[in-house]
Amino acid sequence: MTWCKTLCKFLLLALLPAVACAQTVSSNELESAYSDAHALYLDLHQNPELSLHETQTAAKLAGRLRSAGYDVTEHVGGTGVVAILRNGPGPTIMLRTELDALPVEEKTGLPYASKVHAKDDAGHDVPVMHACGHDLHMAAILGTAEIMARSKDGWHGTLMLIGQPAEETIAGAEGMIRDGLFTRFPKPDVAVALHVSNTLPAGMASVTPGIYNTNADSVHITIYGKGGHGAAPETAIDPIVIAARTILTLQTIVSREVKPGEMAVVTVGYIQAGTKNNIIPDHAEMGLTVRTYKQEVRKQILTAIARIAKEESEAGRAPQKPLVEHYEGTDLVYNNPALAERLRAPLEAALGKDKVVTGEPIAPSEDFSYFVEQGVPGFYFSLGGADPEKFAQAKAAGVELPSNHSPLFAPDVEPTLRAGIAAEVAVLRNLLNASAEDLRKFSAPQPVQ
């Protein structure tokens, strides 16, 4: 019996590479889908839309998925798109892309660069750019959708594609869930997403088991003063000075209050006050972003921010307490470690064993965590987008390529898009060739807090 078990195990291990290869995308399949995907990428890049205003973006993606044979529902949680392809009994697997762009003026110099301006929610005219790669994510999901629809004999179950709005304002995932994403539609056994960046060359991917990124919290502080003439400061209470002292003291939270070694970031991203150089305004505003791993550290920092704002206002003789508003937040994204290791194999088969590396947790955050918190095991991986030659040159020179959210961010489209499609197809085929029961063993444990 022991001999038999050993032989069976040996045969299973010997067959695994062949199984993985059978689940990867062929060159013919990739070519059949690439043209449509690339055309969508160019269109979306030139016509970006801000968070919760992705009406044309959503319509374009929905129309193409409908043409590929999917049952498509629009306006889920606002502009969200849900596309379902049923293929007999089996697991339900969700693949998510984001729809929104950023208020950034593009400076890439590309012939298809965005020249779009739009009104933001405050009514300001702002430039708009896909500076975070969501256009490439959408193009990849279209290519993946077409290949999966044409190869239904190679998988079984239900494929659920999500076009999620407002990732940049961490509002879209929660909005879709509130609108019945997992009650009006099948609740997935596993949720998958990718994100492109210049931290790896195009054609590569990284897998990060466990904590992938950070908790994120956005805080708005209003400091109150007493307006007056800039030449007579003794008649006024200057909120700009109070705000300046507040900003400096906030920087002591991480260095003097948080235990050394704990992940913590407190950044003041903007300060707005006044209208003229010789007028002391009656208030000043600032916006903060906070990043952490542990919930206890998160709570500690948010409490410290409120305390410091209050005490600096009191020290500056402010006429009233500051207004401290915690207006948005999301938990960190957590990759089920066992699931991440399972899906490393199909990624290696699709891209090459030397093209898949183990990644470290990153500081930027996003709201994919909302899906995981609904009890859905998640797999979120990184896709390289840098031109390989430029990446090598930058590494040799010790400089960084333009990051996500930079006006210069632009992935090396053709190899990146091809790799994204190949990676998604390989991961989906692996999951959609498993049984739902097999996948349910990947519970969605939360990280130790």
Every domain of the chain and the residues it spans: 17-213+332-439, 215-330
What mean pLDDT comes out for the span 183-206?
A: 97
pLDDT at residue 447 tops 90 = no
Select the more confidently predicted residue: 7 or 353: 353
pLDDT of residue 445: 55
Question: Looking at residue 21, what is its pLDDT?
Answer: 52
pTM score, two decimals?
0.89
Q: What is the mean pLDDT of residues 336-362?
A: 96
Q: Is the pLDDT at 349 greater than 70, yes or no? A: yes
Burial class of 444 by CB neighbour count within 10 A (0 to 12, 13 to 18, 19+)? middle
Identify the pLDDT of residue 23. Answer: 73
As a whole-number percent, the residues of the chain with pLDDT over 70 amount to 94
Q: Compute the average pLDDT of residues 409-434.
A: 98
**Mean pLDDT across 329-343:** 95
- H or E element, residue 138: helix 134-150
Q: What is the pLDDT of residues 27-57, one digit of tens each?
A: 999 999 999 999 999 999 999 999 999 999 9
Task: Give the CATH class of 215-330.
Answer: alpha beta
Q: In what order do the strands lie in the sheet with 205-207?
A: 71-76, 80-87, 157-164, 92-98, 190-201, 378-386, 205-207, 356-358
CB atoms within 10 A of CB 255: 10
Q: Are 212 and 334 in contact (CB under 8 A)?
A: yes
177: three-class secondary structure by DSSP: helix
Cα-only R_g, the chain: 24
Q: Is the pLDDT of residue 20 over 70?
A: no
- pLDDT given at position 25: 84
pLDDT at residue 22, rounded to an integer: 61
- For 204-234, give one letter per residue: b (16+ CB within 10 A) or e: bbbbbbebbbbbbbbbebbbbbbebeeeeee
The CA–CA distances, whole Å, from 299 to 54, 290, 293 equal 33, 11, 11
Q: How confident is the prediction for the chain on average, in pLDDT?
A: 93
Average pLDDT value for residue range 200-226: 97
What ranges in 404-446 are assigned the alpha helix state H? 413-431, 436-439
**Cβ neighbour number for residue 332 with a 10 Å cutoff:** 27
Domain at 17-213+332-439: CATH code: 3.40.630.10
Give dist(CA 92, CA 435) in Å, integer: 10
Higher-pLDDT residue of 165, 13 = 165
pLDDT of residue 5: 43
Q: How far apart are CA 117 and CA 105, in angstroms?
A: 9
Average pLDDT estimate for 5-14: 43
Q: What is the pLDDT of residue 15?
A: 43
Residue 147 tokens read as 């290949």
Mean pLDDT check: name the lowest of 17-26, 206-215, 336-345: 17-26
- Looking at the chain, how many residues does it have? 449
pLDDT band, very low/low/confident/very high, at 444 (cuts 50, 70, 90): low
Higher pLDDT, 448 or 106: 106
Band (16; pLDDT cuts 50, 70, 90): very low
Angle between helix axes 55-67 and 134-150 (nearest 10 degrees) is: 20
Query: Which pLDDT tens digit goes with each residue over 152-166?
Result: 999 999 999 999 999
pLDDT of residue 206: 98
292 neighbors 301 (Cβ within 8 angstroms)? yes
